[in-house]
Chain A
């Protein structure tokens, strides 16, 4: 069992909200790398996507790539990486643009909802990894 704090990539262009979320996530036991726009987030991902256990991203990030783009790139680089979207007015586009098995939090929300969302997805990802690491029936001489 690893005692490392899970590393999250937090992408939010609102300075105030970014600070609040970074502090809250750190308090809850996560390490957080922040990006203030889509381009910066993609740079972080392309440099070392494997370090991130989850992605939390706003949708509208100003000029450049959107949160939808960031999440798709993250999934290309790390299959199944947990993704939580945050949005005030783009939540309705989630079913069309969101990556599978992601969560959409509509702004405004409470910190507890964000913590619950990312923790739940991380646990699901961890369980899925554990199951995929189990030997198959043929590997253990089954199916006889």
Chain B
């Protein structure tokens, strides 16, 4: 898998990948604005973080981004792997790439949120050394918050 930074040519592709990756889960909110951040990745991610895509033979198979918050904390968001390419370790590779880019951007820690129905994301964060630090309700979902010290 080749990992590279998002370009404007990927704009439609990441929205489709986000929907495809979540289609097999019960984690799609009813709020139509739930994925608006992906409609303007340059403003929402590249100005204060990064957004990357994983490509395998001209197919975008994975994606994810982070936003660097005050206090040098990187919030990891929209980490997705296409359904046909899950369980191949691509999510772990993308997570590692995001952590490396967050470190390079000055982050000292990273956090991510997922839901109780997204088992693969929970396994991914557990395996990568993240610690679950909070649990709360949002948009009708039980949200789990994970954190990892990067340096």
In the complex, are the beta carbons of A14 and B57 less than 8 A apart? yes
| Complex: A68 Cα to B17 Cα, angstroms | 28
Residue A108 lies at the interface, judged by CB distance under 8 Å to chain B: yes
Q: Is the CB of A14 within 8 A of B84?
A: no
Chain A residues, Cβ within 8 Å of B57: 14, 16-17, 20
Determine the distance from Cα of A88 to Cα of B12 in the docked complex, in whole angstroms.
15
Q: Is B138 an interface residue (CB 8 A)?
A: no
Interface check B25, CB cutoff 8 A? no
Would you give the 0/1 interface string for A123-139, flagging 1 where the beta carbon is closer than 8 Å to chain B?
Answer: 00000000000000000
Interface residues of A in 91-144 (CB under 8 A from B): 106-113, 116
Give the CA-CA distance A108 to B55 in the complex, in Å: 7
A-B pairs with beta carbons under 8 Å apart, 15 shown: A16-B57, A17-B59, A23-B84, A27-B84, A88-B58, A106-B9, A108-B53, A109-B13, A109-B16, A110-B13, A110-B59, A112-B17, A112-B82, A113-B12, A116-B16
Q: 8 additional contacts, CB 8 Å, given A109-B60, A111-B20, A112-B16?
A: A17-B57, A108-B53, A109-B16, A110-B13, A110-B17, A111-B84, A112-B82, A116-B16
